[in-house]
Every structure is written in C-alpha cells, then in structure tokens.
C-alpha cells in the first residue's frame, strides 16, 4: 500500500516542469495552429478572437519554437509556423518524458511501476489487461531482436 508521502512524491514528478509547462496563451496558439496546420503571426491574429499585440503573439510563437514544439520557415518578412507534433503525438511525448523522469529518479526501485499500476487500477481496471497485452507484445518483439 502506498503511503501519503510516497504518493505525493510521485505526483510531484508528474507535474510539468517549467521547461515543458505551457501557459494559457501558448496553449491557445498551439491549439489554433493544430486547427489550421500552419500560420504566420498575422494569420493567427485574424483567426483567434483576442486583442493581443502582434509582438506578444510573435514572442509566444518564438517560445514555442524554442521549446521544440513548432517548426518555422521564412515567408517574406515573417515566419510561417507549423506544429512539430499532432495533439496525440504531443500527449505521447509529454507522457513519455514524465515517465522517463520518474523511472530515472528511482534507479532500480520498482516503486514507480507499482504506483503506475495502482493509478491504472483506480482509473479503470480493464486497462490492466491492455497493459499486460502491451508488455507481452513488447517482450515478443525484444525476443525476436535477440534471436537475429
């Protein structure tokens, strides 16, 4: 059984770090870019219902670019921004980073895995079956690689 202290430590690891954490405007602009697939600052300003300054949107997109969430290419005197990931890929990357952080922080301890299984069970016990299938599939893949 998990103690309150152990649970709090795990939850602290799951919280986004400042590097990954997105502010409300970053989330809004990223969502708008996912919807239109690519845009310049002016195109985004026309698309979103806001009174933001051009420079505010430009700075925010630059931050998203520096966080490796957007690609950009020169178009005239401006940049055209394109999301690097689909919303689903973004969630997968974020989840993967959080899980790797948790596992790296505990060395060889199985505590993170037991917490993960506990959280899955509380959310939906049927997911345990899916997790088991995934683990078995991955084991088969690894065995095939070893025999080559």
Q: What is the pLDDT of residue 105?
A: 79
State the pTM of this model: 0.65
Cα atoms in the Cβ-side hemisphere of radius 13 Å centred on 93 = 12
Q: What is the mean pLDDT of each run of 10 residues along the chain (148 residues)?
A: 52 51 92 97 92 96 95 97 95 84 77 86 89 94 91
Who contacts 94 (Cβ-Cβ below 8 Å, separation ≥6)? 16, 20
What distance in Å separates the CA atoms of residue 52 and residue 59, rounded to the nearest whole number?
A: 11
Q: Give which of 46, 2, 48, 3 is closest to 25, Cα–Cα.
A: 48
Q: What is the pLDDT of residue 12?
A: 52
Q: What is the pLDDT of residue 40?
A: 98
């Amino acid at each position: 059984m998990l103690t309150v202290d152990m649970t709090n430590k795990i939850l602290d690891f799951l919280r986004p770090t400042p590097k990954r954490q997105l502010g409300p405007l970053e989330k809004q602009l990223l969502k708008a870019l996912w919807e239109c697939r690519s845009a310049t600052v002016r195109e985004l300003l026309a698309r979103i219902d806001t009174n933001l300054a051009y420079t505010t949107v430009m700075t925010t997109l630059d931050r998203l670019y520096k966080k490796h969430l957007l690609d950009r290419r020169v178009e005239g005197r401006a940049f055209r921004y394109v999301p690097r990931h689909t919303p689903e890929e973004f969630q997968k990357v974020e989840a993967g980073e959080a899980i790797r952080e948790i596992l790296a922080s505990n060395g060889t301890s199985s505590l993170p895995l037991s917490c993960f299984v506990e959280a899955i069970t509380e959310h939906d016990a049927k997911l345990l079956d899916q997790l088991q299938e995934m683990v078995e599939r991955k084991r088969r893949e690894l065995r095939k690689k070893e025999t080559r």
